[in-house]
């Protein structure tokens, strides 16, 4: 197994163990988690205690988040179950503005007395912070939504599915991979349910029930004669869906170039595990790439990560302003480039939208964590940088009258701040399939699935690898390659984009672990695209001569 794949698999288990959790021994205990500890009317009464307390103590603004966060990890290896973890975290976070300064406090004591004490602490912290505040917080306006609710439109609640059924599914996938010759196979199902209640001094009371799921595996094969090993990870994408994502439907299968099968909207983990075992054999036997300039045809399961790193992060306004410089870096997309209204980020066919509403995406919610109704907006239009990602206390910096609705906290215990929404490359406007795109390439490489990468602190110079690589010669795929990585800088790369397939090829990729902030927080985010072509990109050989 590659070190990266091992860390990813181990991280799912370790990540669950690091959260406040209740260990569950059987399905009866699991049923308890399906019953919320309090109803909406009780949450509203508690929120009002916080709102009234902070107002009496001088707060000019308050928001209250009462959150219950459930996670389930089912993890297997070959013929054994490695771990089953259920976590539950329940508490409240209270944020205030006093004397023009933020204050925040959190507590797992979700009682009237506990809420009151947390509210008092938040005000005390704001007053202490105000001694060092240079400029008062300026919040963009946000209308009162009254009492509203939103829920991920799932068909099956994965937490209601028996753990045994999930184990049986993963074991069947493992068995298929082993039957096809795999040396090792790890598989897992990870599910999230965020039950979030938000109330503000502006009159909003918002109840949301959010679901996400990530099935996956890593199939590894070793060749003892050569000493080589290769790993192929799953072609699933983490999604804002329920357990219906694992109800594989034939109409959601995509027969892609190179004879590979991809998936959209639903996922067949058993079939994919078998295909992966066959493909790792080809990966070991593949020809090592010759370094040089190639036209790259990048499939959405690969391109999402390049979008995330080279477009998503540099358009975060707090990075642009230097707020994240100490931890996550800054951005090459500085304010002067936006102010010019003519900074050439990419070619004219490059259009990138931020979106917190896209159905089945990881970032889809009705309202963000400061009560702003979510929406979509353009970041790159016809290749030109036109906007950033901004929340209520940042909007005035770029002349906006309202937030973009992309404020988020990973839990009730953490303060909310600007986080990346779904950021997606829009499909091409002309009818174009991946097969037609490849037919026009003389010397190129078709790349499927993301892998290791490196990018500098300004999100400018980068290097990306992948999982499957196919050589293109004179418009045809000639066979598989290995040891491939490409290098560029973000502006040159996006200006080399010459073709994008149409809407029929559009699919989502993404991740649960977009890290940012001090203390660090994780954000779940999707990135969509269709297959795209980039001309004249530098490709290096990552293999080692022995």
- For residue range 99-118, list pLDDT tens digits in order: 999 999 999 999 999 999 99
Whether the CB-CB separation of 361 and 376 falls below 8 Å is answered with no
Give per-residue pLDDT as tens, 334-380. Answer: 999 999 999 999 999 999 999 999 999 999 999 999 999 999 999 99
Q: Which of 142, 149, 143 is nearest to 44 (CA)?
A: 149
The pLDDT of residue 32: 63
- Structural domains for the chain: 3-285 (3.30.2290.10), 288-541 (no CATH)
Q: How far apart are CA 449 and CA 61, in angstroms?
A: 45
What is the pLDDT confidence band of residue 33, given thresholds at 50, 70 and 90? low
Give per-residue pLDDT as tens, 145-181. Answer: 999 999 999 999 999 999 999 999 999 999 999 999 9
The pLDDT of residue 188: 98
Q: Which of 6-20, 234-248, 447-461 has the weakest average pLDDT?
A: 6-20
Q: How far apart are CA 208 and CA 195, in angstroms?
A: 6
The pLDDT of residue 546: 39
Give per-residue pLDDT as tens, 475-494. Answer: 999 999 999 999 999 999 99
Q: Which three-class secondary structure state does DSSP give residue 225?
A: coil
Which letter, b or e, does each residue of 417-437 get, where b requires 16 or more Cβ atoms within 10 Å of its Cβ? bbbbbbbbbbbbeeebbbeeb
Percent of the chain surpassing pLDDT 90: 91
Whether the CB-CB separation of 363 and 524 falls below 8 Å is answered with yes
Strands 61-77 and 80-98 come out as antiparallel
490 exposed, middle or buried (CB, 10 Å; 0-12, 13-18, 19+)? buried
What is the pLDDT confidence band of residue 21, given thresholds at 50, 70 and 90? very low
Percent of the chain surpassing pLDDT 70: 93
What is the pLDDT confidence band of residue 274, given thresholds at 50, 70 and 90? very high
Beta-carbon neighbour count of residue 288 at 10 Å? 13
Per-residue pLDDT, averaged over 288-317, amounts to: 98
252 exposed, middle or buried (CB, 10 Å; 0-12, 13-18, 19+)? middle
The pLDDT of residue 29: 56
Mean pLDDT, all residues of the chain: 93
């Amino acid at each position: 197994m590659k070190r990266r794949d091992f860390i990813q698999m181990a991280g799912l288990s370790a990540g669950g163990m690091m959260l406040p959790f209740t260990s569950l021994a059987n399905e009866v205990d699991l049923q308890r988690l399906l019953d919320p500890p309090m109803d909406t009317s009780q949450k509203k009464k508690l929120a009002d205690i916080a709102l009234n307390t902070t107002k009496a103590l001088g707060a000019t603004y308050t928001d209250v988040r009462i959150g219950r966060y459930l996670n389930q990890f089912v993890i297997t290896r070959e013929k054994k179950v490695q771990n089953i973890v259920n976590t539950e975290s329940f508490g409240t976070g209270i944020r205030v503005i006093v004397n023009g300064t933020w204050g925040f406090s959190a507590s797992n004591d979700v009682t009237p007395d506990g809420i009151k004490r947390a509210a008092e602490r938040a005000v005390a912290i704001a007053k202490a912070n105000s001694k060092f505040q240079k400029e008062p917080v300026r919040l963009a306006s946000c209308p009162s939504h009254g009492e509203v609710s939103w829920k991920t439109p799932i068909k099956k609640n994965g937490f209601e599915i028996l753990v045994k059924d999930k184990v049986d599914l993963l074991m069947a996938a493992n068995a298929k991979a082993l039957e096809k010759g795999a040396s090792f196979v790890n598989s897992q199902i990870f599910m999230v349910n965020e039950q979030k209640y938000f109330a503000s001094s502006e009159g909003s009371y918002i109840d949301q029930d959010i679901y996400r799921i990530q099935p996956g595996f890593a199939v590894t094969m070793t060749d003892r004669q050569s000493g080589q090993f290769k790993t192929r990870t799953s072609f699933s994408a983490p999604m804002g869906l329920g357990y219906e994502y694992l109800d594989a439907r034939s109409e959601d299968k995509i027969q892609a170039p190179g004879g590979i099968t991809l998936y959209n909207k639903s996922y067949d983990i058993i079939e994919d595990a078998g295909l992966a075992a066959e493909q790792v054999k080809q990966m070991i036997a593949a020809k090592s790439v010759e370094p040089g300039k190639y036209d790259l045809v990048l499939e959405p399961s690969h391109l999402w990560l390049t979008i995330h790193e080279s477009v998503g992060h540099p358009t975060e306004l707090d990075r642009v302003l230097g707020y994240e410089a100490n931890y996550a870096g800054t951005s090459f997309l500085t304010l002067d480039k936006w102010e010019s209204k003519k900074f050439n980020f990419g070619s004219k066919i490059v259009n990138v939208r931020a979106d917190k509403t896209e159905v089945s995406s990881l970032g889809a919610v009705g309202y963000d964590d400061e009560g702003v109704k979510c929406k979509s907006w353009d970041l790159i239009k016809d290749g030109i940088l036109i906007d950033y990602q901004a929340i209520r206390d940042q909007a005035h910096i770029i002349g906006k009258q309202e937030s973009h609705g992309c404020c988020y906290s990973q839990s009730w215990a953490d303060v909310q701040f600007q986080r990346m929404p779904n950021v997606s490359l829009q499909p091409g406007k002309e009818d174009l399939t991946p097969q037609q795109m490849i037919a026009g390439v003389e010397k190129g490489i078709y790349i499927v699935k993301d892998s290791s990468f490196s990018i500098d602190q300004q999100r400018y110079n980068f290097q990306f690898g992948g999982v499957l690589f196919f050589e293109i010669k004179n418009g045809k795929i000639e066979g598989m390659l290995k040891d491939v990585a490409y290098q560029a800088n973000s502006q040159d790369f996006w200006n080399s984009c010459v073709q994008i397939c149409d809407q029929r090829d559009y699919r989502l990729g993404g991740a649960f672990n977009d890290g940012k902030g001090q203390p660090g927080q994780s954000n779940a985010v999707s990135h969509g695209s269709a297959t795209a072509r980039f001309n004249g990109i530098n490709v290096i050989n990552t293999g080692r001569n022995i």
